[in-house]
């Protein structure tokens, strides 16, 4: 094993265990054991346990950042929106431990706190921009104050759909249906503000999606 490979092995093993059992319930010994390396070796590659979680969070950022960028001169389209949200939720699902134990990680690991806080603010700005875009292209009709509330509520839904699914007793994120339903729910937030034909288009899309 070269240096790079073991480090990656520890990361992928940790991700698996964190997702499966929750980050607070997985010790460095568990990780080393599952990865078939010694505990000492693990600490050759990582300074601390939090370091592993932080590195995984950085990997998450690399996955999620490109999905959040919105092209300046593009007219938003309902189906694109749907796909985009689906891809975002998929990426979140692969790092679901981050969201399950978000607030504990957030207060414990300062670097993660800073980065996550920034991410949220960017997401919020991005959502406000999206809403404005939909409005300017005549697809959506909404007033200033409601835009803010809508962006905020969307962001909350996007941040906590994973722990919500768990707590509602949903069959788990291995099952793709949870993801689809969560995506659909978020888009239903937009529905009442959409004009025709986009409103109907969204409803039809939701219907099709549900059957697939």
Partner DNA sequence: GTCTATATCTAGATAGAC
Partner DNA sequence: GTCTATCTAGATATAGAC
State the minimum distance, in angstroms, from the CB of residue 198 to a second copy: 15
Q: For residues 2-61, which are near a second copy according to CB under 8 A?
A: 22, 24-25
The entry of DNA, a second copy, none that residue 101 binds, CB within 5 to 8 Å by partner kind: a second copy
Residue 140 sits at φ, ψ, to 5 deg, of: -130, 150
State the minimum distance, in angstroms, from the CB of residue 116 to DNA: 20
- Cα–Cα distance for residue pair 14/42, rounded to 1 Å: 11
State the minimum distance, in angstroms, from the CB of residue 47 to a second copy: 21
State the minimum distance, in angstroms, from the CB of residue 3 to DNA: 2
The entry of DNA, a second copy, none that residue 159 binds, CB within 5 to 8 Å by partner kind: a second copy
Considering only 103, 171, 208, 211, the residue that binds a second copy (CB under 8 A) is 103
> Applying CB under 8 A, does 127 fall inside the site for a second copy?
no
Residue 146: C-alpha distances to residues 126, 128, 183 (Å): 16, 11, 21
Binding mask 4-23 for DNA (x = CB under 7 A): xxx-----------------
> Applying CB under 8 A, does 102 fall inside the site for a second copy?
yes
Closest C-alpha to 89, from 70, 67, 115, 111: 67
> Applying CB under 7 A, does 47 fall inside the site for DNA?
yes
Q: Which stretch binds a second copy (CB under 8 A): 37-45, 54-62, 81-89, 158-166?
A: 158-166
Coil vs helix vs strand at 189: helix
Q: How many CB atoms lie within 10 A of CB 10?
A: 23
Nearer to DNA, 29 or 177 (CB): 29
> Applying CB under 8 A, does 198 fall inside the site for a second copy?
no
Question: What crossing angle do the helices spanning 198-211 and 176-190 adopt, rounded to 10°?
Answer: 170
Q: 169: which DSSP letter?
A: T
Nearer to a second copy, 35 or 123 (CB): 123
* DSSP secondary structure letters along 72-128: TTPPP-HHHHHHHHHHHHHHHHHTHHHHHTHHHHHHH-HHHHHHHHHHHHHHHHHHH
């Amino acid at each position: 094993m070269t240096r790079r490979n073991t480090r990656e092995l520890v990361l992928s093993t940790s991700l698996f265990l964190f997702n499966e059992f929750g980050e607070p319930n997985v010790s460095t010994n568990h990780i080393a054991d599952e990865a078939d390396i010694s505990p000492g070796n693990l600490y050759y590659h990582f300074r601390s346990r939090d370091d592993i979680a932080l590195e995984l969070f950085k990997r998450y950022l690399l996955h999620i950042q490109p999905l959040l960028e919105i092209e300046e001169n593009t007219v938003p389209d309902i189906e694109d929106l749907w796909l985009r949200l689906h891809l975002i939720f998929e990426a979140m699902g692969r790092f679901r431990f981050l969201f399950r134990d978000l607030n504990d990680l957030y207060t414990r690991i300062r670097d993660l706190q800073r980065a996550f806080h920034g991410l949220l603010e960017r997401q919020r700005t991005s959502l406000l921009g999206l809403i404005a875009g939909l409005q300017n292209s005549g697809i959506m009709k909404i007033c200033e104050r409601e835009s803010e509330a809508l962006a905020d509520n969307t962001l909350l839904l996007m941040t906590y759909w994973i722990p919500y699914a768990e707590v509602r007793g949903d069959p788990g994120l291995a099952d793709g249906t949870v993801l689809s339903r969560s995506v659909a729910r978020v888009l239903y937030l937009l529905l009442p503000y959409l004009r025709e034909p986009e409103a109907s288009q969204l409803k039809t899309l939701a219907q099709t999606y549900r059957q697939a």
